[in-house]
Structure 1
Amino acid sequence: MKHSNNLRNPGVGKSAFVGKSHSGGKDDPVLQYVVNNSLREHPVLTKLRLRTLEDPWSIMMVASEQAQFMANLIRLINATKAIEIGMYTGYNALSMALAMPENGRVVALEIEDTYVDIATPFFKEAGVENKIDVRHQIGMKTLNELIAAGEAGTYDFVFIDADKFNYDRYYEKSLELIRTGGIIAIDNVLWSGRVVNPAPGDLTSQALDALNKKLHKDQRIDLSMLIVGDGLSLVIKR
C-alpha cells in the first residue's frame, strides 16, 4: 500500500530515528517494545547500566539494545580480540567480554579516572576482569602501541565511541589493527540527525559527515549504516 502522506501514519516517521532506549528513545513505545521483547541482559550489566544512569553524562552510554547487537556480532564472527575506543563506564566493554570465550580479550581505552573507577568493580563482579585490559591513557597512544607491538591485522572487532574530531584517525588505526573480515563499529554517525546538512559552525557534525562520506567511497571496506542508537556504521575490512 502506498502512503502519499506520512502524517496519516505518524508512527512510521517518528520511529525511524528515535535514539537510545535510555535517553532520546525512552518515551518511544516502539523502541521500548523492542527492548522489552529482545533484551537479554546479564545481571551485572543491569547493575552497571543503573549505576551509569546516575552519572550526569549517562547519555554517552551505549544503549543496551545496541550493545546486545554488537555482542551478537562478536559471537557471529567468533571474535576473541576486540578494542573499544572510549570505554566510558564500561557497559559495552563488559557486554563484549561476556560474549567472548575464556581466552577472549577486550582492550578498553579510557582517559577519565572516574569512569575507570566505576567500571572496574563491575568487571570483577562479572568474573571477566581477566578479559578486559583497560588502557588508561590517550586513545591514539594505545593504538600506536598496539601496532608497534606487532598486533596489526590481528583484531576481530573494534568499537569507536570517543572524541568525534579524532574519529577519522581512530578509523585509520583501527583498519590497520583489524583482520580481513573483521568488523569496525562506529558510533554516533547520525549525531541526532545533525549530520544532515550540518550547520556552518557545527564542527562536530561536519567531522562526522565528512567521515560518513569517506566511508561510503572507501574501497578497502564493505559498509552498512544502521539507524541504531545514535547511528551505527558497520565496516567490514576487505
Structure 2
Amino acid sequence: MSTNLMTTSPDGQFLNLLLKLINAKNTMEIGVYTGYSLLSTALALPEDGKILALDINRENYEIGLPIIEKAVLLTRLTLEKIKTTILITTRGVIGYDNTLWNGSLVAPADAPLRKYVRYYRDFVLELNKALAADPRVEICQLPVGDGITLCRRIS
C-alpha cells in the first residue's frame, strides 16, 4: 500500500512572528490539513486570542486534530466545518499560502508537472491575478515555503 501525504512547508516561525508584529487577536484558518500553521497561529496569539479553523475535508480534520490535542490547545481553538464570508477591517491582513504552487506558475507551459499540480495551477494563477487587480488591497508575495501572499485591506 502506498500513501501519498502532502506536508506544510516549514514557515511556521515566519507566521508566528508576523502575527505577533500585527498584534493579531482573532484569526481564521481556512484549510487545516496537518494543523501545522494552525498550531503556529495558536502559539502566537495572546491568551484571549481566538482562531476559527475551517476545512471542508473531514480527513484533513482527522489528520490535524491529534497534533492540536497533543499541544493541549483545544481550549483556544474552534475546529468547525462551516461556510462563511470573510469580513476584514480596513488595515486588516489576510495571508494566502501556496501562491507559488510548487513553482508551477513560473515553469514553462509544457513543463512536466504532477497531475494535481497541473490541475490546480490555473486556479492559483486566477487567485493571484484577482489579488493583484483588487484596488481594495495592497499585496506582497513572498517566496517563503510554497509562496505566501499577504494582503492588507486599504479600503
Q: State TM-score, norm by structure 2.
A: 0.81
- Provide the residue aligned with 2:20 in structure 1: 75
- Select which of 103, 120, 135 maps to 1:219: 135
- Select which of 44, 47, 56 maps to 2:4: 56
Structural mapping, 1:177-188, within 5 Å: 177-188=87-98
Q: Which amino acid aligns with 1:188?
A: N
Q: Secondary structure at the match of 2:59?
A: helix
Hey, what's the Cα distance between the residues in 2 that align with 1:214 and 1:226? 17
For residues 192-230 of structure 1, the C-alpha deviation after alignment (integer angstroms, 9 at most, x for no partner) is 222237749x45222222221222222111111111111
Given the alignment of the two structures, is residue 111 of structure 1 paired with residue 59 of structure 2, yes or no? Answer: no
Hey, what's the Cα distance between the residues in 2 that align with 1:114 and 1:197? 31
Structural mapping, 1:1-150, within 5 Å: 56-57=4-5, 59=6, 61-64=7-10, 66-137=11-82, 141=83, 143-144=84-85
Hey, what's the Cα distance between the residues in 2 that align with 1:111 and 1:76? 30
Q: Secondary structure at the match of 1:82?
A: strand
Is this contact kept in 2: 1:198–1:206, CA < 8 A?
no
Residues matched between the structures, number: 146
Q: Which runs of 4+ in 1 moved over 6 A?
A: none
Hey, what's the Cα distance between the residues in 1 that align with 2:30 and 2:22? 20
**Unpaired runs of at least 5, structure 1:** 1-54, 145-173
Q: State TM-score, norm by structure 1.
A: 0.55
Residues 1:104 and 1:220: Cα distance change in structure 2 (over 3 Å): same
Aligned-residue offset at 1:69: 0.6
Aligned-residue offset at 1:120: 2.7
Residues 1:207 and 1:91: Cα distance change in structure 2 (over 3 Å): same
- Provide the residue aligned with 1:195 in structure 2: 105
Residues 1:80 and 1:225: Cα distance change in structure 2 (over 3 Å): same
Hey, what's the Cα distance between the residues in 2 that align with 1:228 and 1:209? 17
Q: Judging by fraction of residues, say which structure has more helix.
A: 1
Is this contact kept in 2: 1:196–1:209, CA < 8 A?
no
RMSD: 2.3
Which protein is bigger by CA-based radius of gyration?
Answer: 1
Percent identity between matched residues is: 37
RCO (CA 8 Å, sep 6+): is it higher in 1 or 2? 2
